[in-house]
Amino acid sequence: MGDKLLFIITLAAAVLFTAIGVFAWRRKKPMWFWIGPDIDPASLTDVPAYNRANGKMWLVYSLIFWLSAPVCLVDDVVGGLLMVILALAGLPVLAAVYKKIYRKYHI
């Protein structure tokens, strides 16, 4: 039962981060990072490119969960550890990548 529950949770996280990526990619106004402040469109050189880069960042992050989900079906402990370790290690990477995206498109 635990493996199926963890699989469902991991799959839900994968869908969530994929949805954030698609939302960012299609958004007309600048996408914010996590719970950060709204970005003034006038402060960016290319809003669509900024949003695509932001969307790609979230889509790549969602791969952690897409890859961990099937492992959870085989072994819930290994899948859970894989997800937690990669997701936690990915958080500072997300912040660094976002800073790079912001600097690239900020005026």
Q: Quick one: pLDDT at residue 2?
A: 59
What pTM did the predictor assign? 0.90
Residue 106 has pLDDT above 80, yes or no: yes
| Number of domains observed in the structure of the chain | 1
Q: How far is it between the farthest Cα atoms of the chain?
A: 52
DSSP 28: S
Q: What is the pLDDT of residue 70?
A: 94
User: In which band, very low, low, confident or very high, does the pLDDT at 89 lie, cut at 50, 70 and 90?
Assistant: very high
* Residue whose entry in the numeric block shows the structure tokens 């997800």: 83
pLDDT of res. 11: 95
Asked whether the CA dihedral 54, 59, 65, 67 is positive or negative, the reply is negative
What are the tens digits of pLDDT across the range 44-86?
A: 999 999 999 999 999 999 999 999 999 999 998 999 999 999 9
Q: Domain of 88?
A: 2-105
Q: How many CB atoms lie within 10 A of CB 6?
A: 21
